[in-house]
Structure 1
Amino acid sequence: MNQEASGKPIRSQEKEKANGVKKEEEEEERRKKKEERRKKKKDEEDEEEEEEEEEEEEEEEEEEEEEEEEEEEQEQEQEEEEEEEEEEEEER
């Protein structure tokens, strides 16, 4: 008879051992998949955050450019007004 001291046949013990190994492998696979999902989600969140920051930076740059253009226009207008005033004074 093929039995160990536990009283179970050796084949039953081998099946239990194989099932235990299989369950451990399945659990490890589930852990890996879960970790991959977490990592993927975090990567996506990081990417979204980075895109939002880039958009904000672009908007700030555009606003700065617009402000600079407005300042230049105002300076140009002021210069033109001063030139006109000088011309008027010269004509007098």
Structure 2
Amino acid sequence: MQKTNQMIFVIVLLVILATSCMVEASAIERAKRDSLIQRLVKRQGDFCTPCAGTQCYFCCIAGYADCVNNGASDCADCANRFGGCSGC
């Protein structure tokens, strides 16, 4: 009986340890993702800076991937290629 209780206790401890490791790994992944998002937003902001303070700035941020993938050199160039961004 005592051996059975000890085995159950060990199994419970192992489950708790495994769960805490998974939670920590999840937190590390979340931190990496947040850091990547922050770098991407900064890059978008730098690219769109020529239109800062205009409606086009937000249009540029939203369309950043399309602009870069299509070879736009800055926000104004993006607006010229895609239209719909006034104020550049």
Q: TM-score per shorter chain, which class?
A: 0.5 to 0.7
Q: Does 1:32 align with 2:19?
A: yes
Equivalent of residue 65 in structure 1, options 51, 56, 60: 51
- Name structure 2 gaps, 5 residues minimum: 53-73, 77-88
TM-score, with length taken from structure 1:
0.54
Relative contact order: is structure 1 or structure 2 higher (C-alpha 8 Å, sep ≥ 6)? 2
Q: 1:16 Cα deviation (Å)?
A: 0.3
Q: 1:26 Cα deviation (Å)?
A: 0.2
User: Over aligned residues, Cα RMSD in angstroms?
Assistant: 1.7
> Percent sequence identity over matched residues?
0
Q: Does 1:49 align with 2:36?
A: yes
Number of aligned pairs?
54
* Structure 2 residue identity aligned to 1:65: C
Q: Does 1:21 align with 2:11?
A: no
Q: 1:21 Cα deviation (Å)?
A: 0.2
TM-score, with length taken from structure 2:
0.57
- Name structure 1 gaps, 5 residues minimum: 1-13, 69-92
Counterpart CA distance in 1 for 2:42 and 2:12 is: 45
